Amino acid sequence: MNKAKILLLTLLFAGLLSGKENIPSIPLNSRIEAEKAIEKVFPALVRFHVVYTDYRDGREKRSEAYGSGVLISADGYAVTNYHVIDRTVKKIFCTISTNEEIEADVIGQDALTDIAVVKLRLGERKDKNIPVRFASFGSSANVNVGDPILAMGSPLALSRTITAGIISNTKLSLPYGMNIGWENVGAMVLWLGHDAQILPGNSGGPLVNMKGEIIGINELGLGGSLDAAIPSDVVEPVVREIIKKGKVDRSWTGLTCEPLLKNSGENKGTLVIDVFKASPAEAAGIEPGDILLSYDGIDITANFEEDLPFFFRLVAGTPIGKEVTLKLKRSGKELIKTLKTKEREIADPGEEEFKEWGFTGSNLTERMMRQRKRTTRDGVVIFTVKIGGQCEEAKPEIKPNDIIVNINGKEVKDVKTLKAITEEIIKGSTEPVPVIVVFNREAERWMSIVKVGFKDINKTSEEAKKSYLGASFQVLTTGLSEHLKLKDKTGVIITNVYRNTAAEKAGLLPGDIITSLDGDNIAVNRPEETEVFTNMIKKKKVGQTYEMAGLRASGEFKDYKEMKLAVKFERSPTPKDEMKKYEDRNFEFTVRDISFFDYTENKVDYGDKGVFVETVLPGGWAALARLNNGSIIQSVDGQKVEDVDGFIKIMEEIAKNKKKRAVFFVKKGIYTDFIQMECVWVK
């Protein structure tokens, strides 16, 4: 045993890594067992770094998260929690024991048991011949209270760690369950309770026995000395089915059951508390208040919450479409009913962003339809609306929970239909297109006008056609005039002269005082009156030469002498907000050409080329890559960027080829950096 392992095991069983004190020393044979268990499973650990989406304010916003997992096969299948890799995850990076970072793809997910399976892209490794280590499942049915265990994972996004403890409960339940992905995990799972410390980031890591077998997948840190793992006997069948079919098929009856009431006088069965409308259970004539004694020939007894997951798993595991017999008791009499199970629908409707409309929404699930007392699932339900977006600015505005059912006379059956109609509306249009939208608001049918599409972000004005001096200035106030012994003089003091401008060509210098332009006195003496001189300049003709009179000091603010300069005014440079812009809606950032005023305001060094990053939307791919407002993009994937036109060509090529990632070379102030932007393309 090497020194590192001896130190690790000493720390583990001294309780230092798990935050526990005064744990008795472990016999040598137990240490040897632990070492063997670590050797079997620890190299199979996976640290997950994921990019996931959150739907808020009418937008799909992206964030990063970390979790743990374990490889279970030589070809790269790995298991973790659904809440680590749920349906909102867009990108998965896995770090394995060889310190390689490998991308992975989702194979399938099951929110009801909080399990997800991914497959690492082992074919993309630099050395494909190095085998990956993987671990095997053991049976959680053989686990007993007091058994020593090891919890492995990557807490707090750190590197791999191990904590040690014992099993404290083999049928741990939560009083109110736990909702994940619109599902109640507690309906299916009785957890393995243990006292090996679990921290954020440990989720999805393996719980290991002294044989080096996975007996659970860690899920919850409940605080104190109680943490929870999903038993392997629940996990393994789910994993195998996901690997085989990409999903878990489950039956549904429409029954909701609870433990027997304490004063019922019954000691067998489970109480039916609800029967879903238009469900197999309703069709079979089952009613709330019935006591279900057996299901498909299997006796049912639920006196406590801990008894219910067995029944729920039994129903869910029934082959879809099977006709089953139920024995009931109603008003003291036993009844026999038969029903034919249906496929259980996934509860999560799968929210999406509709940028052209400024909202996020989804199809209606059957449960959503029933909750809204609708007779059809047709339509698209709105969850969040973008502030200042198309739906909010509609007349009348469209709000969250509204259901779009018709656009310009065309029925909206689902998300797919809405996308097709939208594509048809905006095709060939450069401005938002007004359409008539019919939507349901609770029991009412409303109509509104929505301008669908995007506004042109490029604009022009008359400002750039006017004369421009090319210098900054301040007002010669009364106080300054008196201090400089320039009694009764009014005008402006030049504070800076910009390169290659009319001011520089005329010989104007910082510190010069301008008192008149073309014979007109500059009658200003208050700081806020700078616009007076600006407007005098704008009224002059571009290309004409005018006399500018004033004073120039021969020393530092002294010995002022009169001067006269001939200034040939030039056309004003294009304002920053009128420079050509490009909005990349895939990565959610906007750039523009570098403006003359970026140079004058010291935001850009003279001579620098590229495009100026004007806005980066929070939660977008660009924001995730740490691209900042005010940066100058100077190259992309080694291709130099001169202006917006060139940048558009590069970005269009990236989109056309659906590149996995792009590298931006940027400059911000005096610093430069390489930014790697991940690319996820909508199928």
Residue 516 is predicted with a pLDDT of: 96
Residue 347 is predicted with a pLDDT of: 85
195, 225 Cβ separation under 8 angstroms:
yes
pLDDT grade for 461, boundaries at 50, 70 and 90:
low
Tell me the Ramachandran region of residue 374: left when phi exceeds 0, alpha when psi lies from -120 to 50, beta otherwise: beta
Architecture of 1-248 per CATH? Beta Barrel (2.40)
Task: Note the pLDDT tens digit of each residue in 647-673.
Answer: 999 999 999 998 989 999 999 988 999
Task: Note the pLDDT tens digit of each residue in 598-612.
Answer: 988 878 888 899 999
For residues 511 and 492, give the distance between their C-alpha atoms in angstroms, rounded to a whole number. Answer: 10
pLDDT, mean of residues 17-24: 35
The answer to whether residue 465 scores a pLDDT higher than 80 is no
Any idea what DSSP says for residue 596?
H
Intrachain domains 1-248 and 576-678 with the same fold = no
Residue 128 is predicted with a pLDDT of: 86
pLDDT grade for 12, boundaries at 50, 70 and 90:
very low
pLDDT, mean of residues 60-85: 95
Residue 464 is predicted with a pLDDT of: 60
Helical ranges in 212-365 per DSSP H: 232-245, 280-283, 308-316
The answer to whether residue 15 scores a pLDDT higher than 70 is no
The answer to whether residue 217 scores a pLDDT higher than 60 is yes
Residue 637 is predicted with a pLDDT of: 95
| Fold category of 576-678 in CATH | Pdz3 Domain (2.30.42)
Q: Output the DSSP codes for 477-506.
A: -HHHHHHTT-TT---EEEEEE-TTSHHHHH
pLDDT, mean of residues 636-649: 96
The answer to whether residue 87 scores a pLDDT higher than 90 is no
CA atoms within 13 A on the CB side of 652: 7
Task: Note the pLDDT tens digit of each residue in 545-598.
Answer: 999 999 999 877 778 999 999 999 999 998 888 899 999 988 999 999 999 999
Residue 158 is predicted with a pLDDT of: 77
The answer to whether residue 332 scores a pLDDT higher than 60 is yes
Residue 27 is predicted with a pLDDT of: 53
116, 146 Cβ separation under 8 angstroms:
no
Query: H-helix or E-strand containing 37?
Result: helix 28-41
The answer to whether residue 5 scores a pLDDT higher than 60 is no
For residues 293 and 326, give the distance between their C-alpha atoms in angstroms, rounded to a whole number. Answer: 8
For residues 383 and 512, give the distance between their C-alpha atoms in angstroms, rounded to a whole number. Answer: 61
pLDDT grade for 317, boundaries at 50, 70 and 90:
very high
Higher pLDDT, 259 or 17: 259
The answer to whether residue 9 scores a pLDDT higher than 70 is no
For residues 568 and 582, give the distance between their C-alpha atoms in angstroms, rounded to a whole number. Answer: 34
Residue 23 is predicted with a pLDDT of: 36
Structure tokens at 631: 């940066």
Task: Note the pLDDT tens digit of each residue in 200-215.
Answer: 899 999 999 999 999 9
5, 32 Cβ separation under 8 angstroms:
no
Task: Note the pLDDT tens digit of each residue in 386-421.
Answer: 999 999 999 999 999 999 999 999 999 999 999 999
Any idea what DSSP says for residue 132?
P
Residue 339 is predicted with a pLDDT of: 96
**Which CATH class for the 463-571 domain?**
mainly beta
The answer to whether residue 463 scores a pLDDT higher than 70 is no
The answer to whether residue 276 scores a pLDDT higher than 70 is yes
The answer to whether residue 294 scores a pLDDT higher than 90 is yes
Q: Where are the domains of the chain?
A: 1-248, 251-343, 352-452, 463-571, 576-678
Tell me the Ramachandran region of residue 146: left when phi exceeds 0, alpha when psi lies from -120 to 50, beta otherwise: left
For residues 630 and 273, give the distance between their C-alpha atoms in angstroms, rounded to a whole number. Answer: 60
pTM: 0.79
Task: Note the pLDDT tens digit of each residue in 487-514.
Answer: 889 999 999 999 999 999 999 999 999 9
Architecture of 251-343 per CATH? Roll (2.30)
pLDDT grade for 683, boundaries at 50, 70 and 90:
low
Query: H-helix or E-strand containing 553?
Result: strand 545-555
Residue 272 is predicted with a pLDDT of: 96
* DSSP 3-state of 450: strand
pLDDT, mean of residues 211-222: 94
**Which CATH class for the 352-452 domain?**
mainly beta
Q: Which residue has the tokens 């002059």?
A: 540
Residue 679 is predicted with a pLDDT of: 79
For residues 45 and 160, give the distance between their C-alpha atoms in angstroms, rounded to a whole number. Answer: 7
